[in-house]
Amino acid sequence: MSHLKPRAVDLFCGAGGLSQGLRQAGFNVIGAVENDELACEAYRLNQPDVALWERDIRRLSAKQCLRQLELKKGQLELLAACPPCQGFSTMRTKNGLRKNRDRGNDLIFEVLRFVRSMLPLTVMIENVPGLARNQRFEKFRNGLCELGYEVKHRVLNVADYGVPQSRRRLVLLASKCSQPSFAKKAFRLRTVRDAIKHLTATRNSRDPLHGYKASHSAKVVKLIRRIPKNGGSRSALGASRQLRCHKSFDGFRDVYGRMAWDRPAPTITSGCINPSKGRFLHPTANRAITLREAALLQTFPRRYKFPHSRGRYPIALLIGNALPPEFIKRHAMSLRKDILKVLSRSQTNL
């Protein structure tokens, strides 16, 4: 192994946001697991050299993965994962009032199974904040401690770590090297302007994720034109000019709201190209943000590829479910420093 490239495996890799962040942090991502066909297609477009197991992780042997990667137990430097999190979200649990029976919640123990079989030097887990309040998370943490890991976790806002978007996420770092440490906060917040202002107008773009015409109805287009520029809300229209469905419903106040140029964007979700799903209108153009703009607000590279043969909404789902690579990169760099110290000491003792 090159001393500059610690190896990593990405479980539940999705379209590749976590892997992209790890690569940018200086890791060599050598293996990944994902069950969704379209996510795997996107992953292969951007990470063609990674061994990708396209299957249900519950039917995958961690020892088999080690053999295929030509590694022995204890040789992997980082195991990273973001198990499906919908079951822990505030929306799904009605703010914790409804007992959550989502079978996918137990997938976090598949991560623990891989940790037991692989014994990586470090572990990184990313998920929704609601997981931290679930007894499964405590059991998972205890399992790592029993294996000899030093464990820390925090709920962080990605906007504090170079992502032009407000998004609270739970991050767990575990290490056999030393006490793991989180990245330092950025000196300044990145904004919508920083992320997408440089893009050409959609009508002049050849990018299939940007140069397309929004399919809003005439009625919706008329409404959008009335929303004040640069952060305006539908509430500025008054009751008489709002859609009928909005007059009798006071929830989700960001619906048909505009982003503001000089603030971070709201959380980019799977509905990010639909103005009826949140504050997803462009700051000044009379349309929702494009798929490319959404990907940039998630900090994917400008030329990151997404398969578009199935239409725009499946891509929006991939982008909205992805981890912001910049956020992952910064915390992975902190782990990498500790890893390199251990590797350097071990080489000195040889």
Q: What is the pLDDT of residue 343?
A: 77
CATH code of the domain covering residue 214: 3.90.120
* pLDDT over threshold 50, residue 94: no
* pLDDT over threshold 50, residue 98: no
Catalytic, 85? Answer yes
Determine the Cα–Cα distance for residues 203 and 210; give it in Å rounded to an integer.
Answer: 9
- Are 117 and 222 in a shared domain? no
- Are 314 and 331 in a shared domain? no
- Are 120 and 146 in a shared domain? yes
pLDDT tens readout for residues 44-91: 999 999 999 999 999 999 999 999 999 999 999 999 999 986 654 544
Residue with tokens 């063609």: 48
Give the pLDDT band (50/70/90) at residue 255: confident
Tokens of 114: 């891989």
**Is 173 a domain residue?**
yes
Which residues, 6+ apart, have CB-to-CB distance to 279 below 8 Å?
233, 254, 255, 257, 258, 259, 265, 266
CATH code of the domain covering residue 146: 3.40.50.150
Tell me which residue of 87, 84, 75, 147 sits closest to 112, measured CA to CA. Answer: 147
Q: What is the pLDDT of residue 344?
A: 75
**Is 106 a domain residue?**
yes
- Are 198 and 209 in a shared domain? yes
Q: For the chain, how far is it from start to end, CA to CA, in angstroms?
A: 15
pTM (predicted TM-score):
0.90
- The Cα angle at residue 18 between residues 211 and 280, in degrees rounded to 5: 40
Give the pLDDT band (50/70/90) at residue 105: confident
- Are 36 and 171 in a shared domain? yes
Cβ atoms of 137 and 129 closer than 8 Å: no
- Are 66 and 182 in a shared domain? yes
Tell me which residue of 256, 286, 292, 253 sits closest to 274, measured CA to CA. Answer: 256
pLDDT tens readout for residues 9-42: 999 999 999 999 999 999 999 999 999 999 999 9
Cβ atoms of 55 and 35 closer than 8 Å: yes
DSSP string for 244-313: HHHHT--S-TTTTPBP-TTS-B----TTTT-GGGSS-B-SSSSSBPPHHHHHHHTT--TT-----TT-HH
Determine the Cα–Cα distance for residues 69 and 32; give it in Å rounded to an integer.
Answer: 11
CA-CA-CA-CA dihedral for 27, 31, 34, 39, to nearest 10: 60
Determine the Cα–Cα distance for residues 177 and 286; give it in Å rounded to an integer.
Answer: 52
- Are 154 and 61 in a shared domain? yes
pLDDT tens readout for residues 291-324: 999 999 999 999 999 998 889 999 999 999 999 9
**Is 1 a domain residue?**
no
**Is 267 a domain residue?**
yes
How does the average pLDDT of the chain come out, rounded? 89
Mean pLDDT value of segment 261-289: 96
Position with higher pLDDT, 2 vs 188: 188
Count: domains in the chain = 2
Tell the burial category of 302 from Cβ atoms under 10 Å away from its Cβ (0-12, 13-18, 19+): exposed
Give the pLDDT band (50/70/90) at residue 4: low
Determine the Cα–Cα distance for residues 103 and 101; give it in Å rounded to an integer.
Answer: 6
Cβ atoms of 317 and 295 closer than 8 Å: no
Mean pLDDT value of segment 117-124: 98
Tell how far CA 145 is from the center of its chain: 26
Count of C-beta atoms within a 10 Å radius of residue 160: 16
* pLDDT over threshold 60, residue 111: yes
- Are 77 and 209 in a shared domain? no
- Are 183 and 199 in a shared domain? no
Position with higher pLDDT, 90 vs 286: 286
Containing structural domain, residue 248: 192-321
**Is 218 a domain residue?**
yes
In order of 77, 157, 287, 314, 317, the CA distances from 39 in angstroms are 25, 25, 26, 10, 10
pLDDT tens readout for residues 146-188: 999 999 999 999 999 999 999 999 999 999 988 999 999 999 9
Helix (H, G, I), strand (E, B) or coil at 314: helix
**Is 2 a domain residue?**
no
Helix (H, G, I), strand (E, B) or coil at 343: helix
Active-site pick, 82, 85, 177, 272 = 85
Residue with tokens 């409804």: 98
pLDDT tens readout for residues 200-248: 999 999 999 999 988 788 888 888 999 999 999 987 765 555 555 554 5
- Are 240 and 181 in a shared domain? no
Tell me which residue of 86, 2, 45, 6 sits closest to 338, measured CA to CA. Answer: 6
- Are 296 and 159 in a shared domain? no
**Is 294 a domain residue?**
yes
Q: What is the pLDDT of residue 315?
A: 97
- Are 295 and 312 in a shared domain? yes
Q: What is the pLDDT of residue 250?
A: 52
Give the pLDDT band (50/70/90) at residue 345: confident
**Is 331 a domain residue?**
yes
